[in-house]
Amino acid sequence: MSERAVLHVKGRVLVGPEEVRDELWVVGGRISYDRPTGARDVRTVEGWVLPGLVDAHCHVGLDRHGAVPEAVAEKQALTDRDAGALLLRDAGSPSDTRWIDDRDDLPKIVRAGRHIARTRRYIRGYAWEVEPEDLVAYVAQEARRGDGWVKLVGDWIDRDLGDLSACWPRGAVEAAIAEAHRLGARVTAHCFAEDSLRDLVEAGIDCVEHATGLTDETIPLFAERGVAIVPTLVNIATFPELADGGEAKFPRWSAHMRRLHERRYDTVRSAHDAGIPVFVGTDAGGTLPHGLAADEVAELVKAGIPPVEALAAGTWAARKWLGRPGLEEGAPADLVVYASDPRADVRVLTDPRRVVLNGRVVG
């Protein structure tokens, strides 16, 4: 389109769960609710409009073996984009994906640096593997490299114990989280099991990934402290397969993983009902493919979260939580257009009619 061209998006613009407008205009790549004057070339798109979806837990630049070439990372980002996920929180990657920031055709990424794990207590090739005395230094390093987030591995299988267990002593996580906060970064942690959660929350953590180990004892603590969770239910669905694979060597761990899986929906629903902030994330990029944000919204609904709130967890509320704009006046025009109202049936999210990124129709 020419320099003075505009995009006219009309139908039902869902600025928020209850705020609906009839149209918006895209001028110079940004949103306007005032009809521009002097436009020579107007392209019109019609439908139900949402801000670009958010995947608040994925891994661009990572696969099951570790870091990937730029061409693979590009394909991952494009897959998310074409599925309507235009804002990603990269919850740990060994790859340097800063080059994506220079591409206006790829989703915007909020990075958490590289995972920080206990020595031999995580997937090989993913994380910095350190001991407690070095945790603060590595947190400071990744706080400076990330976009306001740091990612810890809070628990993992202890091969001597044969089950999941906490990776860090209480004093180490207290010092590490305090250092991240001093540097202006928030901290999140991978946690499957129960026993790491109280220490992390009382140490001041901001978010927990997966959070399958939440119980009646820790849910009120999360709610009181305002600690968010990103359940990644599309990933938790793989627990039975993982358990089967580890049965012969680690039967205790396998049984634990099955229990966590069986109660996953009850856990998420109880967390939501208690007032814990819940956000959409898929854990794509390790063993799962990208482009699953819509499926995760549907999983939250299956868990018992009302559809509009599940939708907010992957759009308006998630963008606010990450400090990024939605469909506000003057915001970058990152939006997705659907054929019908996603508030009535979130399954429509799997089939975007149009994807607009930085004001350009890219899908």
pLDDT, one tens digit per residue, over 147-184 is 999 999 999 999 999 999 999 999 999 999 999 999 99
Residue 84's pLDDT is what? 98
- Cα–Cα distance, 237 to 268 (Å, whole number): 13
Residue 363's pLDDT is what? 87
The verdict on domain 53-321 having CATH code 3.40.30.10 is no
Domain 6-50+326-361, CATH number (from 2.30.40.10, 3.40.630.30, 1.10.10.10, 2.40.100.10): 2.30.40.10
Contact 332, 64 (CB under 8 A): no
CATH topology of 6-50+326-361 equal to that of 53-321?
no
Average pLDDT over residues 132-155: 98
Residue 166's pLDDT is what? 98
Neighbouring residues of 180: CB distance < 8 A, sequence distance ≥ 6: 139, 140, 143, 150, 186, 187
First to last CA, the chain: 16
The pLDDT tens digits of the residues spanning 313-335 come to: 999 999 999 999 999 999 999 99
Q: How confident is the model at residue 111 (pLDDT cuts 50, 70, 90)?
A: very high
DSSP 130-164: E-GGGHHHHHHHHHHHSSSEEEEE-EEEETTTTEE
- The interaxial angle of helices 170-182 and 135-145, nearest 10 deg, is 30
Tokens of 175: 């010092």
Contact 185, 150 (CB under 8 A): yes
Q: Is a pLDDT exceeding 70 seen at residue 1?
A: no
- Cα–Cα distance, 200 to 166 (Å, whole number): 10
Average pLDDT over residues 85-89: 98
Model pTM above 0.75: yes
Q: What ranges do the domains of the chain cover? A: 6-50+326-361, 53-321
Place of tokens 């902030």: 277
Place of tokens 């995760």: 296
How many CA atoms are closer than 13 Å to the CA of 5, on its beta-carbon side? 11
Average pLDDT over residues 67-92: 97
| Single-letter amino acid code for the residue at 114 | R
Helices assigned H by DSSP within the chain = 70-82, 135-145, 170-182, 197-202, 219-225, 233-236, 239-246, 251-262, 264-273, 293-302, 307-313, 316-321
